[in-house]
């Protein structure tokens, strides 16, 4: 558990990084929430949400900070690093996980992590369920029902790669959830070496049948990815690591439970949970994956131990130095465009 000197709440509001990472996205996500779900009522709610965003929400969230209230603007809940695909340029580093070292949570483990979180935060504006491929998580319908019951979660969504059809239980759970926003299907049907169009069509047909909101995340006929490059420790100076963070500023803060931390032989590590017994929150999915590939000890100071106090959440959003940022490419330079979702049988290795 990190122990830091007390910081008066108003100091966070004077921190430009905190305002960019915490205040602004809270305003945007709350306005999105106030706009409501799809449907005719949304037409009437959008003007109200716009007025709130322009005149009220900024002062509202600033006041909440001064009161010590913690409102997470966005949180990705990582269910597993297992995936039905092995994209050689996966931005979440799934291509680096060997089969015996995969992270796989359980419903009980996720509940323990989320309940520890809810003791320390006052709201989560939006939660997004991700993987790997989250539909490989067998208890997904039960997780959806659990999230629906949590007062501190305003909305949640789900992203899938479109290779696994949704079970009837999952479709029913999503249909009956008042907090569920939408399913995002990543459209990889244009990948040069993937044939998933039939599976994708079946998924979309079932979502329409159950009237579940969804979007097909596609870049059109010339779909391209940005090459993430190789992932390795670059040994930059602290100043250069901070500079790289400022060029990136990925907003996808992610949570992993304390389950499945393994050693080189694939066995559970002794004292693996010592730094985060209930799980941890990381600055991005790359950082959460690196924590499993390299170990939590490598990134101490980067993450929120879910047993940390409330101030640690504010400190996390105010900091701009993360050790994980030394592993990524230089975000100040343009990146090469590559075809989407090229598959590989190779398990990538982190360079020393």
Query: Can you tell me which residue has the tokens 């990472």?
Result: 21
Give the per-residue pLDDT at 186.
Answer: 86
Q: What is the pLDDT of residues 114-152, one digit of tens each?
A: 999 999 999 999 999 999 999 999 999 999 999 999 999
Q: How confident is the model at residue 221 (pLDDT cuts 50, 70, 90)?
A: low
Judge contact between 256 and 273, C-beta under 8 A: no
Q: How confident is the model at residue 21 (pLDDT cuts 50, 70, 90)?
A: very high
Give the per-residue pLDDT at 2.
Answer: 59
Q: What is the pLDDT of residues 23-78, one digit of tens each?
A: 999 999 999 998 876 554 565 677 888 899 989 999 999 999 999 999 999 999 99
| Spatial distance between the Cα atoms of 317 and 319, rounded to a whole number of angstroms | 6
Q: What is the pLDDT of residues 90-114, one digit of tens each?
A: 999 999 999 888 999 999 999 999 9
Could you give the C-alpha distances from 248 to 14, 27, 106, 351, in angstroms and in order? 21, 20, 31, 22
In eight-state DSSP terms, residue 73 is S
Give the per-residue pLDDT at 239.
Answer: 98
Give the per-residue pLDDT at 226.
Answer: 85
Mean predicted confidence (pLDDT) in 227-236: 92
Could you give the C-alpha distances from 226 to 89, 150, 229, in angstroms and in order? 9, 36, 9
Is the model's pLDDT at 266 over the cut of 70?
A: no
Could you give the C-alpha distances from 133 to 95, 138, 303, 346, in angstroms and in order? 13, 11, 23, 18
**Least confident among 141-150, 214-223, 306-315, 337-346:** 214-223
Is the model's pLDDT at 312 over the cut of 80?
A: yes
| Spatial distance between the Cα atoms of 250 and 283, rounded to a whole number of angstroms | 8
For the chain, give the mean pLDDT: 90
Q: How confident is the model at residue 224 (pLDDT cuts 50, 70, 90)?
A: confident
Q: How confident is the model at residue 6 (pLDDT cuts 50, 70, 90)?
A: confident
Give the per-residue pLDDT at 54.
Answer: 87
């Amino acid at each position: 558990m990190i122990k830091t000197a007390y910081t008066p709440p108003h100091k966070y509001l004077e921190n430009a990084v905190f305002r960019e990472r915490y205040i602004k996205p809270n305003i945007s996500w709350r306005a999105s929430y106030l706009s409501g779900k799809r449907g005719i009522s949304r037409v009437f709610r959008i003007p109200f949400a716009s007025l709130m965003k322009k005149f009220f929400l900024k002062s509202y969230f600033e006041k909440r900070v001064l009161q010590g209230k913690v409102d997470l603007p966005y949180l990705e809940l990582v269910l597993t690093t297992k995936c039905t695909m092995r994209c050689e340029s996966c931005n979440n580093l799934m291509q680096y996980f060997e089969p015996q070292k995969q992270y796989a949570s359980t419903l009980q483990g996720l509940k323990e992590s989320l309940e520890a979180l809810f003791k320390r935060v006052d709201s989560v504006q939006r939660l997004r369920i991700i993987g790997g491929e989250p539909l490989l998580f067998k208890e997904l319908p039960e997780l959806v029902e659990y999230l629906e019951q949590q007062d501190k979660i305003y909305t949640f969504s789900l992203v899938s790669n479109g290779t696994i059809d949704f079970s009837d239980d999952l479709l029913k759970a999503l249909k009956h959830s008042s907090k569920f926003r939408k399913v995002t299907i990543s459209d990889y049907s244009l990948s040069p070496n993937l044939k998933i169009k039939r599976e994708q069509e079946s998924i979309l047909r079932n979502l329409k049948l159950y009237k579940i909101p969804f979007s097909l995340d596609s870049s059109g006929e010339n779909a391209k990815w940005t090459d993430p490059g190789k992932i390795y420790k670059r040994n930059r100076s602290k100043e250069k690591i901070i500079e790289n963070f400022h060029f990136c500023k990925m907003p996808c803060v992610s949570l992993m439970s304390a389950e499945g931390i393994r050693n080189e032989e694939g066995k559970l590590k002794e004292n693996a949970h010592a730094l985060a017994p209930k799980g941890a929150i990381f600055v991005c999915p790359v950082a959460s994956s690196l924590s499993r590939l390299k170990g939590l000890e490598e990134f101490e100071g980067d993450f929120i131990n879910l047993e940390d106090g409330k101030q640690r959440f504010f400190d996390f959003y105010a900091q701009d130095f993360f050790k994980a940022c030394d592993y990524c490419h230089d975000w100040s330079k343009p990146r090469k465009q590559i075809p989407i979702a090229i598959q590989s049988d190779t398990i990538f290795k982190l360079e020393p």
